[in-house]
Amino acid sequence: MKNETESLTLEQLQQQNEKLEQQNTELSAKLKWYEEQFRLAQQKRFGASSEKTHPDQLELNLFNEAEVLATPEGQVPEMEKVSYERRKTSGKREADLSKLPVETVTYTLEEGKQICACCSGSLHEMTTETRSEIAVVPPQVKVIRHVRQVYACRHCERHGLQTPIVTAPMPNPVYPGSLASPSAMAHVMCQKVVDSQPLYRQEQQFARMGYTLSRQTMANWMVYGAEQWLMPMIAEMKKHLLQQETLHADETTLQVLREPGKSAEATSYLWLYRTGRGVPPAVVYDYQRTRGGEHPRDFLTGFKGYLHVDAYPGYHKVKDVTLVGCWAHARRKYDEALKAAPEAKGNPETVAAQGLAYCNQLFALERELKEASPEERHKARAERSRPVLEAYHVWLRQQKSRTMPKSLLGQAIAYSLNQWDKLTAFLKDGRLELDNNRSERSIKPFVIGRKNWLFANTPRGAKSSAAVYSVIESAKENGLHPFRYLKYLFEQLPQLPDPQDLKTLEPYMPWSSSLPDTCRMP
């Protein structure tokens, strides 16, 4: 009896061989994909997070980077001969100290010791020696008692039927019925939002300062302060946003424990909207239960202009806008592909290196145009960026068929092709930006804080946190000191006849020129 192999025909063997080769190719591609994912995960966990490209790395003749970076012919770098080293004490240190209050401590000799050891004559002051130190005064908790006098007329008390009583005016409290002061409420908010200190850690800090202040009380302060005084300002900030012609948007996750109809492990979202360049900065966070595209659609109702976004398709639901893509995301795909392929590191001939070089060329031009006017930037992009884009698009179509779609490199190429209309939209207006990093920088403080306080307890608390983040991040963008600005708001807003009237809030907005200098950073 012939064995099974001998009974197969040549054609069947060829088919079997082709099938095995196909399986081998698929398994090799799958193995390569897993290796890429493993190396990328290791790099994200242990490696540097910077995406900067070293100037000596990935040089391509196409962009003449070597010629641009090299020292021009005939020009010799200036040489300096150093004969000794010493610590530089003037300049920056004195400039830094000039911004601080100064307390001077003077040391003198006792009168009986001001005698010359040689001739017993009197010593006189010849000069002084000075040493500077920086001292830290830790925060302290103190009680402020507001006492106002009540006045009456003695003549009316003796002879009149009624005695008029006059009470001295006193500022309205920021939170009636509580011990919260404007400074205490501002301190709790800034500790959580600016310094990412959860309320339970603040509770411990207050205990060390000699006062027991529970985290529940601080949470009540934050919710009341946000709802009563900050949310009306958020409405004015939103109005300011919708009047602009260019905006940025982004979103990130948030866990809310007690959300009706959802489990404690379910994911909610915080959406971010902010202004672009050239206008008074405003940053607004918006808490929502889901990541649905109806949320940016509803929030941006009435806005007509350019919206910088990432690749999330939910933004397509926003009507009457032109979506502008993010080249930082496109560049990051190639950077990840290089980091996941050690053999490609430093090799400018790899496909990933070529894709990264195209992106670098665009960013290099944007750095040159940083101080240009919108009109100059628009013209320069048409003359210099457009040819790079056209060459890059041809290159993308050529590489698509040569690359495994599921590999990191294949995903990088597919990202640029799929987002092409949005990635090239920046050519339409000189006010537009090459990336959406402006919104990513604004949402980063929330992401960092989330790693410390982890979650919000209720939707009401999530909305309040969003309001506090909005005001503080807008204040920082406008060069304000967060604590001093919040303290000023909590002192002034309770004194307004109608704090809900948006017209009366304009002098208190983060971009207002009427804010006192004490609210501004030194």
Per-residue tokens: 310:
């990432």
Per-residue tokens: 414:
């597919």
Distance from C-alpha of 120 to C-alpha of 125, rounded to nearest angstrom = 16
Q: Torsion-angle region of residue 302: left (phi > 0), alpha (psi -120 to 50) or beta?
A: left
Q: How many Cβ atoms from other residues are within 10 Å of residue 298's Cβ?
A: 13
Per domain, the residue ranges of the chain are: 327-430
Q: Identify the H or E element spanning 396.
A: helix 386-400
Where are the alpha helices (H) located in 179-288, listed in sequence order?
A: 182-193, 199-208, 215-225, 231-242
Distance from C-alpha of 275 to C-alpha of 298, rounded to nearest angstrom = 17
Q: What is the pLDDT along the chain (522 residues), one digit of tens a residue?
A: 445 555 678 888 888 888 888 888 777 777 766 666 676 666 666 656 666 665 444 444 444 443 334 444 445 555 555 555 555 555 677 777 888 889 999 999 998 888 988 998 898 999 999 988 889 988 899 999 999 999 999 988 888 888 889 999 999 999 999 999 999 999 999 999 999 999 999 999 999 999 999 999 999 999 999 999 999 999 999 999 999 999 999 999 999 999 999 998 999 999 999 999 999 999 999 999 999 999 999 999 999 999 999 999 999 999 999 999 999 999 999 998 888 776 655 566 789 999 999 999 999 999 999 999 999 999 999 999 999 999 999 999 999 988 888 888 999 999 999 999 999 999 999 999 999 999 999 999 999 999 998 889 999 999 999 999 999 999 999 999 999 999 999 999 999 998 888 789 999 999 999 999 999 998
Q: By C-alpha distance, which of 185, 232, 219 is closest to 488?
A: 185
Distance from C-alpha of 374 to C-alpha of 380, rounded to nearest angstrom = 10
Where are the alpha helices (H) located in 98-214, listed in sequence order?
A: 154-159, 182-193, 199-208
